[in-house]
Amino acid sequence: MVFNQDRDMLEMVRNFAHFFRHESCGFCTPCRVGTALLGELVEKVAAGRASDHDLQEMRHIGSVMQRASHCGLGHTAPSHLLGTLDKFPETYRRRLQTTDDVPSIDLDTALAEARAIRGRDDAGAYRGLHWGDEA
């Protein structure tokens, strides 16, 4: 594929990530889980919520997929991502929020429905507690 300088490389990566996630047959774990994780991490970068740690995770997941997937789809699925991380690192770096680890989910939002169902919005329910804090 050939692109000019006007092409948004991250948008191309997002399209490929979506394609490979959809096309994975689900037979082997590296491909089934790896394509899902890579897709989520690419979306995190696109949303401006990613960190250097997320880029390292992309490399690690892609490497595992290339070594451990059962078929050619799993072996090649991370190629677009790994290639752009190597050849066009600024595509990712300019979208990083921070160099610190940023959670992939907002736990308060994720648990809001469960708290509402249980009728719990007290100090004992999760509201910004961190692992190891006393409830």
Over the stretch 8-53, which tens digit does the pLDDT of each residue have?
999 999 999 999 999 999 999 999 999 999 999 999 999 999 999 9
The pLDDT value given to residue 5: 83
85 and 110 housed in the same domain: no
Over the stretch 51-107, which tens digit does the pLDDT of each residue have?
999 999 999 999 999 999 999 999 999 999 999 999 999 999 999 876 565 566 677
65 and 22 housed in the same domain: yes
Residue 28 belongs to what domain range? 9-93
77 and 33 housed in the same domain: yes
Any idea what the CATH number is for the domain that residue 15 is in? Answer: 1.20.1440.230
Question: For the range 20-27, what are the long-range contacts, defined as Cβ-Cβ under 8 Å and sequence gap of 24 or more?
Answer: 20/73, 20/77, 23/73, 24/73, 24/74, 24/77, 25/71, 25/73, 27/70, 27/71
89 and 118 housed in the same domain: no
Confidence of residue 135 (pLDDT cuts 50, 70, 90): very low
Whole-prediction pTM: 0.71
